[in-house]
Structures are given as C-alpha cells and as structure tokens.
Amino acid sequence: MARRTALRPLARPTVPLTLFIAEPEDAGDGQRTRYQLMARPGDTILELALRHGIAIEHQCGGICNCTTCHVHVSEGPEHMSTPDEDERHRLHRATAPGPTSRLACQATVIGDGPVTIIVPEEP
C-alpha cells in the first residue's frame, strides 16, 4: 500500500516585494526593470523570482555554493531571515559585498514587508 503524505497548503502571497533587475535590454546603461511582486511567507527571493519568470542567476542550483544569486536587500531586511554562517561565509566571495548583501537562494521572506531587492549587474 502506498504511503500517504500530507501536503501543507501553500501560504497565500501577502508580502509586497519590489525587485529591480537589469534585463538584457538594460545592460550597461545603469537602468533596471522594476517588478512589483507578492511573496509568500517562506519564499526565498530566488523561488519568488523564478516563479514569476524573472531570471536571477543561480549557477549552483540554490545550494549556497556560488555567489551568482547575490542581491541587495535595500528595504525591509527585518522581514527576511537572518543569514546563517554558510551564507555569510559565501557572501565574502561575492563581487562588492556590502551590509545589505544576501544570497537570493538563502534569504527567506518571514515578515509582512514591504521588501525591496536590487540585483547587481555583477553578482
């Protein structure tokens, strides 16, 4: 007999999140495309972006083993998970890391928002 697994219902998307990213047509001119999204509590920034067809690089597949998903949380860091030791260690290898740096595959929405994310052109 097959084992039955209880599925958790997905949380409703209730957290406003603005994401700025340089699309290919923006490259080099300093402009970024603005996306106004609604995140579910528990979403990582990467999951949210990919669900909306927004291409944040994620070379390692989201296992905290590269820095290609480097982003900046410019508003609402208190609504995001705290970076663990692995993420902090990995961020030191990102291009121009700063106090707002996070890895999109590790940073999880935990609060009510709003949150603003900027994807740098050089991860």
Nearer CB in complex with ligand FES: 70/79? 70
Beta carbon nearer to ligand FES, 18 or 68: 68
> Least distance to ligand FES from the beta carbon of 123, Å?
9
CB closer to ligand FES, 103 vs 115: 103
How many Cβ atoms sit within 10 Å of the Cβ of residue 23?
11
> What's the closest the beta carbon of residue 55 comes to ligand FES, in angstroms?
12
Q: Which is nearer to ligand FES, 19 or 105 (CB)?
A: 105
User: Least distance in Å: CB of 5 to ligand FES?
Assistant: 27
- The residue ranges that bind ligand FES (CB under 6 A) are 58-60, 62, 64-66, 68-69, 103, 105
> What's the rounded Cα separation, in Å, for the pair 47 and 40?
10
Give long-range contacts, CB 8 A cutoff, 24+ apart: 80-89: 80/107, 80/108, 80/109, 80/110, 80/111, 80/115, 81/106, 81/107, 81/108, 81/109, 81/110, 83/107
CB of 86 to ligand FES, least distance (A): 9
